[in-house]
Amino acid sequence: MIPLADRFGRVATDLRVSLTDRCNLRCTYCMPEEGLAWMPREQQLTDDEVSRLIRISVETLGIRDVRFTGGEPLLRRGLVGIVRAAASLSPRPKLMLTTNGIGLERLAEPLRDAGLDRVNVSLDTLDPARFQALTRRDRLPDVLRGLKAAAAAGLTPVKINTVLMRGINDDDAPALLRFALDHGYQLRFIEQMPLDAQHQWDRHAMVTADEILESLSPYGLQPDSVSRGTAPAETWLVPGHVDAAGEPARVGIIGSVTRPFCGDCDRTRLTADGQVRDCLFATEESDLRKLLRNNATDAELAEAWRVAMSRKRAGHGIDDPAFLQPARPMSAIGG
């Protein structure tokens, strides 16, 4: 086993696999309303190709956590089989999924049976009109049913990811926390990042981690003594509340922009078309699909992955005047 190390001493043990760039929502901070071309099918890795790369990452490169994402990963037909193949690996990785929740009502049990451990469901508001404004679709009831099904299937702790957008849902944080506490879900806010396909991100319009904390002040949040480790979310305790497991309830904030955690990053990413990315904000990728389809051996693929990760930059550089937003939008990278 030779791990995925970089020149700053970080070791990647957490793999994010994007299974598709397609989606059934059009969240304003991620995708345009229309006009975004999908990845051609022949460029997308087949189920067997994805499973082979996951196997190599686990058996040879020390990956311990695998998270499936997209686009919307529940739209990937072979998802259950891909999860089952990953669950059969030794050592068995932890398997997680980030989803908008649409279709989870039907898939939660089959995914659990295939070996999925946990889900994160993205939900930015509980108000149907705001949901429609943010996602450009009227699907809030599907997401709520998906959350319920995930909890009932034991895909726990169920986490909720929330992005706040100024002037749309920036006052929704307290209601979302109330909802999460009532249902035993763990809520985490994510600062909006410059990864939208339209390149309209504006740092001054972004709702910051400090503002989110301020808006949660009625809850009297307390600093959490549990170390954050390599997790991107800083967490706070919510006094007087426990989660579904009887532990003190927590709320998290991922301050990707104002409180970067690049120094502790342990992630590597694989896009649906077989490119390794060392960072969400990477402007260069390494093409494993080409190697795969040119009959590369497992050892050759592992070595190419190692070389790709060794070049990882120290940080995302969003505040650097020379910062360049990556060409791929979030939906094609995998968040």
Which DSSP category does 258 fall into? Answer: T
If one counts every other C-beta atom within 10 angstroms of the C-beta of residue 194, the result is 22
Identify the CA nearest to 288 among candidates 18, 85, 92.
Answer: 18
Q: Which strand (E) or helix (H) includes residue 214?
A: helix 209-215
Residues 90-109 that bind ligand SAM (CB under 6 A): 98-100
Residues 114-173 that bind ligand SAM (CB under 6 A): 122, 161, 163
Candidate list 19, 83, 119, 195; residue touching ligand SAM; CB under 6 A: 195
Q: Are 140 and 110 in contact (CB under 8 A)?
A: no
30 touching ligand SAM, by CB under 6 A: yes
100 touching ligand SF4, by CB under 6 A: yes
Residue stretches of the annotated binding site for S-adenosyl-L-methionine: 29, 71, 122, 193
Interatomic CA distance for residues 156 and 40, integer angstroms: 35
Interatomic CA distance for residues 335 and 323, integer angstroms: 19
Kindly tell me which of 179 and 303 has the beta carbon lying closer to ligand SAM.
Answer: 179
Candidate list 20, 50, 70, 115; residue touching ligand SF4; CB under 6 A: 70
26: partner contacted, choices ligand SAM, ligand SF4, none (Cβ within 5-8 A by kind): ligand SF4
Edge-to-edge strand order for the sheet containing 186-190?
222-223, 234-242, 248-254, 186-190, 159-162, 118-122, 94-99, 65-69, 14-18, 267-270, 275-277, 286-287
The alpha carbon of residue 98 and the mean position of all alpha carbons in its chain are separated, in whole angstroms, by 5
136 touching ligand SF4, by CB under 6 A: no
190 touching ligand SAM, by CB under 6 A: yes
71 touching ligand SF4, by CB under 6 A: yes
Looking from the CA of 315 toward its CB, the CA atoms found within 13 Å total 13
27 touching ligand SF4, by CB under 6 A: yes
Rounded least distance, CB 6 to ligand SAM, Å: 23
57 touching ligand SAM, by CB under 6 A: no
The span of 21-29, 146-154, 190-198, 291-299 binding ligand SF4 (CB under 6 A) equals 21-29
Q: Which amino acid is at 173?
A: A
The residues binding ligand SF4 (CB under 6 A) are 23, 25-27, 30-31, 70-72, 100, 122, 330-331
The residues binding ligand SAM (CB under 6 A) are 23, 29-30, 69-70, 72, 98-100, 122, 161, 163, 190, 192-193, 195-196, 330-331, 335
